[in-house]
Homo-oligomer: A and B are copies of this chain.
Amino acid sequence: MMLNIENIRAQFPILAQQIHGKNLVYLDNGATTQKPISVINAITNYYKNENSNVHRGVHFLSGLATKKLEKTRNAVKKFIGARYNHEIIFTKGATDSINLVANGYSTLLKKGDEIIISELEHHSNIVPWQICCENCGASLKIIPIKDNGELDMDCFYNMISKNTKIVAISHISNTLGTVNPVEKIISKAHELGAKVLIDGAQATTHVNLNMIDLDADYYVFSAHKMYGPTGVGVLYGKEEALNSLPVYQGGGEMIKDVSFKKTTYAPLPHKFEAGTPNIAGIIALNEAITFVLKLGIENIYNYERELLEYATNEILKIKGVVIYGNSKNKTGIISFNIDGIHPYDIGVIIDKFGVAIRTGHHCTQPLMERFKIPGTARISFAVYNTIEEINICIEAIKKAKSMLV
């Protein structure tokens, strides 16, 4: 199916913005995507017509808010092909989700146990495991990456052992765009009895997800990177995987019975949902899912691949450009540097042309270390981007270069 991009763009009010007197060219989608009007309206509608605290209320609005929140849980379940609604835990973001699991593992693991992550992980999939290791004495093993930005799978196969208790890997690298071979990792890990957490923050709009097929034990993502609101994340876990974790936060909804003698906890999903959730945000996430499903993930992927190929070609025409991440299997992310120029300078200058890209280490400092660079300039696409915008961006980069050298 061909997507009607003009029609899609019309659904995003912010794309009509002017920045420094220029049309906004938003190419920082890896950091956060913009929101379609349906998502924005869901929030407004909630606060104007339905707002109430969820779960325990018997009055109408409370029932309505609860129903809508649970509807999103069901929508997420279907979206990622999970078995049960109670395998979907709402968190405040991918980072929160990973911390919940890593915190649990700090009580499940002991000295001698090993955790495997990779060199291209986002800090959010590194630091929680470092804290976990500090607390329980387990050790952290790192899968190195090859020059083209792919995981060195030979190393992984050598590294994993019976001591490995959990492997935590991003589905798609936020800096390089590499799509990691998570299926292979999961099947090898399971062979050796290790669990697997997949950080899907960059994947939910690019890969058709089916948890039953994928067989990941945990899968995490953030709503704000998939056209949804800020402040909402998802932790998917297999029923038995979630049940094996101790409670994380205490309070509110997550209890069965509280007494000073003995407190018992509610079953999934409530066990992990302490406190009043981001009700408006969760309800709006349902609209984001609807938006993505209407377009079709494959269509989004294919269209972004077109943008990626065009942009890659054009940018490589600029002398001195180096692109980091050259896997054949990558999504719409281009991390680059220009010889002799600091990425910060590029970002600051093209901003004046209305072009928003991200520069810096992208919360992947070890990866920057690996390439011995202070950072990169990163272009990242969403489904509303166009070839024309890429042309504007390339022109801006060329102008920046001519000013800087």
**Interface-facing stretch out of A1-9, A70-78, A123-131, A318-326:** A123-131
Report Cα–Cα, A102/B249, bound state, in Å. 10
| Residues from chain B with Cβ under 8 Å of A255 in the complex | 123, 127, 365
B274 near A99: Cβ-Cβ < 8 Å: yes
The count of chain A contact residues (Cβ–Cβ below 8 Å) is: 91
> Is A397 on the interface with B (CB-CB < 8 A)?
no
B44 near A251: Cβ-Cβ < 8 Å: no
B351 near A59: Cβ-Cβ < 8 Å: yes
Instruction: Give the contacting residue for A127; candidates B49, B93, B254, B369; CB below 8 A.
Output: B254
Copy tally for this chain in the complex stands at: 2
> Is A48 on the interface with B (CB-CB < 8 A)?
yes
Closest residue of chain B to A93 (Cβ to Cβ) is B275
| Residues from chain B with Cβ under 8 Å of A40 in the complex | 43-44, 47-48
B278 near A231: Cβ-Cβ < 8 Å: yes
A124 near B274: Cβ-Cβ < 8 Å: yes
Closest residue of chain B to A354 (Cβ to Cβ) is B60
> Is A52 on the interface with B (CB-CB < 8 A)?
yes
Report Cα–Cα, A230/B131, bound state, in Å. 29
Render A259-302 as a binary contact track against B, CB cut-off 8 A, 1 for contact: 11001000000000011111111000000000000000000000
Q: Besides A31-B53, A123-B250, 18 other CB < 8 A contacts?
A: A14-B47, A40-B44, A40-B48, A57-B358, A58-B344, A58-B360, A92-B92, A92-B231, A95-B251, A99-B251, A122-B252, A124-B274, A130-B250, A130-B263, A142-B260, A230-B279, A230-B280, A278-B281
